[in-house]
Structure formats: structure tokens, C-alpha cells
């Protein structure tokens, strides 16, 4: 399968690893939007949040069980935000489920800051 995040998990594409266990892999975003910008992904190809099922949702649980530790390892000491873009309108560009963990600075509260 031609999926860059599957290749990152397999070690075929290098990445800056932050955390890994049997279920999940976390690494620095190549184009960070904050001092802490980590991507947390399941070690199973799930295309997006639309593809989460009763059978594979354990991967999502495992991601959220580890996010507090991952955020601290990434330097988000005073809080963080978790984002998953799902589909075209949300701007999803990589179709392997991933959660952005963003922090390390005060974040704008609104999705549309001009409002």
C-alpha cells in the first residue's frame, strides 16, 4: 500500500520518533505549526476517523491512553490540543488516521480567529 505513514511505521521513511508501543507510533510533524506538534498514529492502516469501527477502535483507545505522556515528551507542559482532520473539507492530506498533538505555546481559541 502506498501510504507514507505506513512507511514511517515500517522505518522506510525516517521520522523523529517521540513514543512507540505495540499499538501506536508518535513522531514530530515535518511542518510544525507550534513548538510541540506531534502526530500520533495507529500501527494499523485506518484511513480516517470515518473508518473507525468496533473492531479497530482499540487503536484509538491506545492513542488516547498515551497522549498525555506524548504531549509532555513533546514539550507541551501547560496544555495541548488534539486535532484530527477528517476528509476534504477538513483539509486531511494523509489518509492514515492521525491525531495532531499541538502545544508548547498559548494557542488561539477559535477555528476562525477573525470571528
**Residues with catalytic function:** 98
For residue 43, how many other CB atoms are within 10 A of its CB?
A: 16
- Please return the burial class of 102, using the count of CB atoms within 10 Å of its CB with bins 0-12, 13-18 and 19+: buried
Backbone conformation region of residue 104, classed left if phi is above 0, alpha if psi is from -120 to 50, else beta: left
Write the interaction track for Zn ion spanning residues 69-108; mark x where CB under 5 A is met and - where it is not: ---------------------------x------------
Q: Which does 91 bind (CB under 5 to 8 A by kind): Zn ion, ligand 5GP, none?
A: ligand 5GP
By CB under 6 A, the residues from 43 to 62 that bind ligand 5GP are none
Binding residues for ligand 5GP, rule: CB under 6 A, are 4, 13, 15, 27-31, 39, 85, 91-94
Amino acid at each position: 500500500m502506498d501510504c507514507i505513514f505506513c512507511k514511517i511505521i515500517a522505518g522506510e521513511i525516517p521520522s523523529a520518533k517521540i513514543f512507540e508501543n505495540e499499538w501506536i507510533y508518535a513522531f514530530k510533524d515535518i511542518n510544525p505549526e507550534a513548538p510541540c506538534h506531534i502526530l500520533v498514529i495507529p500501527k494499523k492502516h485506518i484511513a480516517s476517523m470515518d473508518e473507525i469501527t468496533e473492531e479497530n477502535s482499540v487503536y484509538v483507545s491506545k492513542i488516547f491512553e498515551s497522549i498525555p505522556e506524548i504531549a509532555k515528551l513533546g514539550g507541551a507542559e501547560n496544555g495541548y490540543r488534539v486535532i484530527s482532520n477528517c476528509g476534504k473539507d477538513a483539509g486531511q492530506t494523509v489518509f492514515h488516521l492521525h491525531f495532531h498533538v499541538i502545544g508548547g505555546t498559548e494557542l488561539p481559541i477559535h477555528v476562525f480567529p477573525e470571528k
